[in-house]
Structure 1
Amino acid sequence: MAKKKTAKKSSSKKTTPKKSSSKVSGGTVKATICINHEIWPMERDVLFRPDRMKYVRKLIKPEGCVFCNAAKNGVSFDSLCVYKTKHSMVVLNKFPYNSGHVLVLPRRHCGDLLKLSDGEYTDLQQTIRVTMAAINSIYEPGGINLGLNHGAVAGAGIPEHLHYHMIPRWSGDLNFFPLIAETKVLVESLEQTYEKFLEYFKKI
């Protein structure tokens, strides 16, 4: 009578990669590392952000222009508006790419840079300079991305209302996670970001 084969129990001990070597031309030794298949794939932490799904799928459709609503409501966390001038305002990005990501935009509903008056354009550019100084003072970044997507074809999410993106950047702050998973891990909440900017702008 044939004996039944029993499955070998997997060892609970951690396995370490084994090194092997082979000689190649010239007498040099080529080393290779063999990773045990039993320890791959490795366990990974998972960050769940279901609130971003509605935004990614464009299911959140606010009534009217969100920037115009912010202009009407004034400086408050509800509107995410943190600073205003005669013609411009600074608003936190609700879904920031990095901590300190803000938008600088004209208060008037306008989607064409060439249709701004001289006074509006000058005030907007001055507000950009002031905001850059605020970001440098608050976050001390290695650099800042400053960009305007002019028109829907150029990538503007709200093409009807001009808005400059200002994003603090640090060396090594971008990796595979935001590129592949379209998710960014931030070190502070929107409330904390708002309070930092509000405290700065109150001084000027």
Structure 2
Amino acid sequence: MRDYDGTEYENVESLDGFAAVPDAFQRLWTPHRIAYIQSGQQPASDACPFCVAPSMTDEEALIVKRGEHAYVLLNLFPYNSGHLLVCPYRHVATYDEATTEEVAEIASLTQEAMRVLTATSNAQGYNIGMNQGQLAGAGIAEHLHQHIVPRWNHDSNFFPIIAGTKALPRLLGEVREEVANAWPA
């Protein structure tokens, strides 16, 4: 085989047709993650994304349900397919700053989200929680948001443990449409 500069190598397999050759590897195609990688894992602007999202179309912001005091959207950088966030419209940082009405609607939307995800993706369990404050792991510490992560038997494997990588089998737009369409009116 010859290299690009003309150097000849012996006992080296040709790369011609490599993509068509069956092997033991499975490919993980996660094209939506390129935005996260290219942005350096930082928001594109200083504006709070949870304050900006409601001014966008549901499709652009990945919103699946709008309530009176809070709304639900897909996590742009999900742990699993269907990873949702419930956010109050009001810009508050911590749970104790939320009003009684906001807390009640966040709870109600969380319950509805679980029902919708169970119906659309057969989720077998959930991780639900809030990281409040940067020190506690909040990626966006300035705006309260609750995570709803659907889980399935054997959804954790060596990728997140060893390689720090999560395989997501569906595109965000597909998941948003399915979840939004399944949400009760």
TM-score by length of 2: 0.78
Percent identity (aligned): 34
Higher helix fraction: Structure 1 or Structure 2? 2
User: For the Cα contact (< 8 Å) 2:62–2:173, is it kept in 1?
Assistant: no
Does residue 143 of structure 2 align to residue 158 of structure 1? no
Instruction: Kindly state the Cα deviation for residue 62 of structure 1 after the two structures are TM-superposed.
Output: 2.7
CA distance in structure 2 between the aligned counterparts of 1:192 and 1:200, rounded to whole angstroms: 12
Instruction: Kindly state the Cα deviation for residue 93 of structure 1 after the two structures are TM-superposed.
Output: 0.8
Does residue 37 of structure 2 align to residue 53 of structure 1? yes
CA distance in structure 2 between the aligned counterparts of 1:82 and 1:63, rounded to whole angstroms: 24
Residues 133 and 117 of structure 1, relative CA distance in 2, 3 Å threshold: same
CA distance in structure 1 between the aligned counterparts of 2:140 and 2:43, rounded to whole angstroms: 13
- Which runs of no fewer than 5 residues in structure 2 stay unpaired? 1-10, 12-22
Corresponding residue pairs, total = 162
Does residue 111 of structure 2 align to residue 120 of structure 1? no
Structure 1 runs (4+) deviating above 6 angstroms are none
Partner of 1:198: 180
Partner of 2:7: none
CA distance in structure 2 between the aligned counterparts of 1:128 and 1:60, rounded to whole angstroms: 25
Which of 52, 55, 77 lines up with 1:69 in the alignment? Answer: 52
Query: Matched residue of 2:136: which SS?
Result: coil
State the Cα RMSD in Å.
2.3
CA distance in structure 1 between the aligned counterparts of 2:43 and 2:87, rounded to whole angstroms: 21
CA distance in structure 1 between the aligned counterparts of 2:29 and 2:155, rounded to whole angstroms: 20
User: For the Cα contact (< 8 Å) 1:54–1:60, is it kept in 2?
Assistant: no
The aligned amino acid for 1:126 is S
User: For the Cα contact (< 8 Å) 2:132–2:138, is it kept in 1?
Assistant: yes
Select the structure with the greater relative contact order (CA < 8 A; seq sep ≥ 6): 2
Bigger Cα Rg: 1
Query: Matched residue of 2:142: which SS?
Result: coil
- Give matches, 1:135-146, under 5 Å: 135-146=117-128
Does residue 76 of structure 2 align to residue 94 of structure 1? yes
Higher strand fraction: Structure 1 or Structure 2? 1
Instruction: Kindly state the Cα deviation for residue 160 of structure 1 after the two structures are TM-superposed.
Output: 0.5
